[in-house]
Amino acid sequence: MGDAQVVYLSMETAAKRLGCSSPTVRRIAKSRRLGILADGERIVAVAEHELPLIQPFIHATSGNPVWIAAAKKKPRRKRA
């Protein structure tokens, strides 16, 4: 067996590495069942190897990405 050690990161450190806020990391980790739970419900740390599992769920802007994309489309012209 190997002597590989798991490195755990606080929410703030993970957020800095991922370029988002700590509540965002906490919300994604909780929904994906990643990280270390304290008191049975609050995520307090995530493993360094879990960061790539969180990254795809971080969006560039807040809000629903489907609605944001729909707002950028050209508005339809009304028929006269």
What digits encode the pLDDT tens for the residues 17-61? 999 999 999 999 999 999 999 988 889 999 999 999 999 988 776
Here the tokens at position 36 are 């270390």
Domains and CATH numbers, the chain: 8-72 (1.10.1660)
Q: Compare 73 and 18 and report the one with higher pLDDT.
A: 18
Closest CA to 38 of 28, 50, 26: 26
50, 29, 21, 6: CA torsion to nearest 10: -30
Strand pairing category for 36-38 and 42-47: antiparallel
Measure the CA–CA gap between 7 and 47, rounded to whole angstroms: 6
pLDDT of residue 39: 87
- Cut 0.85: pTM above it: no
Q: From its phi and psi, is residue 18 left (phi > 0), alpha (psi between -120 and 50) or beta? A: alpha
Q: Model confidence over 9-22: pLDDT tens digits?
A: 999 999 999 999 99
